[in-house]
Chains A and B, each alone.
Chain A
């Protein structure tokens, strides 16, 4: 069964997993260390994310590493929204800086 990508990212734990593997590839154990849930629960989340092709697996020696499947994320509207949000944050910071300078 093909899963719905939006359903996959609707879950907060799965979103947290995506944030974790966005910065570096991680083993299921390393991922599970970040959550107070069972290994099984994390495995289930990883399976759903893999089925949606939001993460990819890579065998390195005996370990399997999960990393973010960046191409798939592009299909999500959030993709550009994140980029826009950076500029929004950046400019809000500049607003604050400008008003601080003006008061001097």
Chain B
């Protein structure tokens, strides 16, 4: 298979993260994967974490409330996404904030802008994540870092079992 584009850049000065990725699928399918909870939960969390959407109402003014769940079933991070704009199959925007389990938001949040376009059967998704504050961006990266660390937990278990022998 031809290689699909993946770009990831962080502009600290602009407090913005830019992510571009191509997918070998038609635009409407990729759109569904980003906007339907039963599909989102199948890929949104990096394994071994699981994404668990508690509620989702995909419309302007609607909300997705979800958790990242550890392999032990512990909910480690709650997030809210409030949809602010939707142009079916081409663009949607939301405000993302961390939250507690009772859906109380921890402001400030970050503004997500997701664009979809298709060319020769390849769908390109371009994501811009703008953070209200540098602190928020660092917090987001910190959470990402912890999630990245959780991903290595499998390796850790392997290492620990080796050490114990």
Partner of A23, one of B21, B47, B142, B146: B146
Majority secondary structure of chain B interface residues (helix, strand, loop or mixed): helix
Q: Would you call B47 and A93 a contact (CB within 8 A)? A: yes
Is A102 in contact with chain B by the CB < 8 A criterion?
Answer: yes
The total number of A-B Cβ pairs within 8 Å is 98
Query: Do residues B149 and A82 form an inter-chain contact, with CB atoms below 8 A?
Result: yes
**Is B19's CB under 8 angstroms from A85's CB?**
no
Does chain B have a CB within 8 A of A87?
yes
Q: Inside 8 A of B76's CB, which chain A residues have their CB? A: 23
A99 vs B42: C-alpha distance when bound (angstroms): 13
**Chain B residues with CB under 8 A of A97:** 33, 39, 42-43
Let me know if B107 is at the binding interface, CB within 8 A: no
Which B residues touch A36, using CB under 8 A?
A: 163-165
CB–CB A80/B10 < 8 A: yes
* A1 close to chain B: CB less than 8 A: no
Give chain A residues whose Cβ lies under 8 Å from the Cβ of B138: 74
Give the A-binding residues of B (Cβ under 8 A). Answer: 4, 6, 8, 10, 19, 21, 23-25, 29-30, 33, 39, 42-47, 76, 138, 141-142, 144-153, 156, 159-160, 163-165
Please name 12 pairs of A and B residues whose Cβ atoms are closer than 8 Å in the assembled complex, sorted by A.
Answer: A74-B138, A80-B10, A83-B10, A86-B148, A87-B8, A88-B6, A96-B43, A97-B39, A97-B42, A98-B33, A99-B24, A102-B25
